[in-house]
Structure 1
């Protein structure tokens, strides 16, 4: 009986992989941020687990969506694109939300993209989102003051 149940479960798992059923992931809270005249809906990654997974294994992201990484301390944090399928741009932000630098990141690479100075946040958006909207280094991302502390 147990062996039959185990075989049935294994069959469902294999079928899910073969049919390309999307991986179920925990929903992250969404926060509203702003850059220039643009509104951003950003998934909140403020825990170790959420920061580790980030935007991995996603095939699309709406134009106005992104992910805000909140770190527990200011440091020269770095990001990479392991298991990330969509091209992204990341803006590293200081504790006040000012953009320190913006890096373009290619899918499924393990190159480090690091903050130019001590950063508290990293905002990932679709590739070239910042440049296409003329959002540049030195500008402030609104709404970071309402974010919970990183943990």
Structure 2
């Protein structure tokens, strides 16, 4: 009987350990480097997703994000960038941004979908904000963002 109880407790601890690691894996990224970007007179407190792992996780599992915050995905070179919203709870708008800060196009993205949203031309940057932020500020395709990443193109 003792052996059976020990075996059961050991199995239960493995299951609990698995549950613990799954929830740690599903935690949002909150410790990424930050910079300030501008969109006209508006400032954006921006987290930087620089590595493939950071870009892959992005804003997944985030339950809220202040209106003035966003995440800038930085790629090594311009290419057609496509995004989806698997495991992303917040509705977001993606701005596909050229090297000089010009917005190529915007895409509103629904939470927890695998619909693909792509840039209309090769871009190096994608800025995700809460859905509607760009529209409320009058920022659209052709508008320019400012900040350190876009200063190198000058």
User: What is the TM-score with the length of structure 1 in the denominator?
Assistant: 0.83
Q: Quick one: which of 97, 100, 107 aligns to 1:103?
A: 107
Query: 1:81 — aligned with what?
Result: 85
Match of 1:123 in 2: 127
Please report the RMSD computed on the Cα atoms of aligned residues, expressed in angstroms: 2.7
Q: Give CA deviations for 1:17-52 in whole Å, capped at 9, x if unaligned.
A: 89xxx8374610011000011000111001111100
Question: Any idea what SS the aligned residue of 2:46 has?
Answer: strand
Kindly indicate whether structure 1 or structure 2 has the higher relative contact order, using CA contacts under 8 Å at least 6 residues apart.
1
Structure number with the higher helix fraction is 2
Relative to structure 1, the CA distance from residue 6 to residue 29 in structure 2 (aligned partners, 3 Å threshold; closer, same or farther) is: farther
Gaps of 5+ in 1: none
Which 4+ residue blocks in structure 1 deviate beyond 3 angstroms? 3-18
Count of aligned pairs? 143
- In structure 2, runs of 5+ residues without a counterpart are 1-6
User: Which structure's CA Rg is the greater one?
Assistant: 2
TM-score, normalization by structure 2? 0.81
Match of 2:48 in 1: 44
